[in-house]
């Protein structure tokens, strides 16, 4: 058999790419549900035979988040004006923006583990950066940092209620901060 050239070669290459991309899409994007499992199993068998199967990608998420947290700060100024700051509602942030803000997401997750020193640093930062509601140049008298959260069921749970991460507890004050004199 001779070397394939011209339009036939292009057709073979395009056919291979189409099949490869279809297998890739099925392997990556088809959800792990009952209808999708059969399709993924047939694709995985072909990938194992060819040596291309990579197994599950749990590199970046071996332990998924179980708590959805929100922070709120009330910044009280010397003239008794109050400005409110809240951490982002990540469920409302588009995927590309979340990607760009991944370090911010990690920071808010870290705050709870770090405790008091991190709370003090966040309060001091907010006292410096959150503007007065009327734009006046008034000193900050104090910052009240509050937290609320919701439990997220594990991904292995079969019956997950609709959007359980939005059933928040009441706000709990975790830090009353005053600027140093």
Rounded-to-integer distance, Cα 152 and Cα 160, Å: 9
The reply to whether 80 and 159 lie within a common domain is yes
105 domain residue, yes or no: yes
CA-nearest of 167, 174, 169, 159 to 122 is: 174
Residue 81: pLDDT above 90? yes
Are residues 100 and 163 part of one domain?
yes
Say if residue 36 is in the same domain as residue 99: no
pLDDT, tens digit (0-9, with 9 covering 90-100), for 44-59 = 777 777 777 776 655 5
Domain limits at 114? 67-177
What is the residue-averaged pLDDT of the chain?
Answer: 81
**Using an 8 Å Cβ cutoff, are 40 and 26 in contact?**
yes
Q: Does some domain include residue 61?
A: no
Whether residue 90 is contained in a domain is answered as yes
Residue 58 lies in a domain: no
What 3-state class would DSSP assign to 70?
strand
Quick: pLDDT tens for 6-64: 888 889 999 989 988 888 777 777 666 666 667 777 777 777 777 777 766 555 555 55
Beta pairing partners, 77:
140
Average pLDDT over residues 115-141: 93
Using a pLDDT cut of 90, give the percent of the chain over it: 31
Q: Residue 95: what pLDDT?
A: 87
In this prediction the pTM is 0.58
- As for how many domains the chain has, the answer is 2
Of 19-33, 136-150, 158-172, which range is least confident?
Answer: 158-172
Ranges of H-type helices in the chain:
6-29, 34-50, 95-100, 102-114, 116-129
Q: What pLDDT shows up at residue 69?
A: 80
Q: What is the mean pLDDT of residues 83-109?
A: 87
Measure CA 80 to chain center: 36
Is 153 inside a domain boundary? yes
Q: What is the pLDDT of residue 132?
A: 95
Residue 154 lies inside a defined structural domain of this protein: yes
Q: Which residues pair with 147 in a beta bridge?
A: 71, 172
Q: For residues 150 and 16, which has the higher predicted lDDT (pLDDT)?
A: 16
Q: Are residues 85 and 42 in the same domain?
A: no
100 and 165 share a domain? yes
**Which stretch, 32-36, 113-117, 121-125, has highest mean pLDDT?**
121-125
Residues 30 and 93 in one domain: no
Spatial separation of the C-alpha atoms in residues 171 and 65, rounded to whole Å: 20
Residue 150 near residue 168, CB atoms below 8 Å = yes
């Amino acid at each position: 058999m001779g070397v394939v050239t011209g339009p036939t070669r292009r057709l073979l290459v395009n056919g291979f790419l189409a099949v490869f991309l279809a297998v890739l899409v099925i392997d990556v994007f088809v959800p792990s549900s009952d209808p999708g499992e059969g399709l993924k199993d047939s694709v995985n068998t072909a990938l194992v035979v060819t040596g291309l199967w990579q197994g599950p990608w749990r590199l970046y998420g071996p332990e998924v988040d179980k708590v959805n947290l929100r922070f709120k700060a009330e910044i009280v100024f010397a003239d008794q004006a109050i400005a409110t700051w809240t951490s982002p509602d990540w469920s409302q942030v588009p995927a590309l923006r979340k990607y760009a803000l991944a370090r911010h997401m990690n920071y808010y997750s870290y705050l709870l583990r770090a405790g008091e020193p991190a709370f003090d640093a966040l309060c001091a930062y907010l006292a410096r950066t959150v503007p007065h509601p009327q734009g006046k140049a008034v000193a900050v008298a104090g910052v009240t940092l509050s937290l609320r959260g919701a439990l997220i069921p594990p991904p292995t749970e079969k019956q997950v209620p609709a959007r359980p991460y939005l059933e928040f507890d009441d706000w709990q004050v975790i830090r009353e901060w005053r600027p140093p004199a």
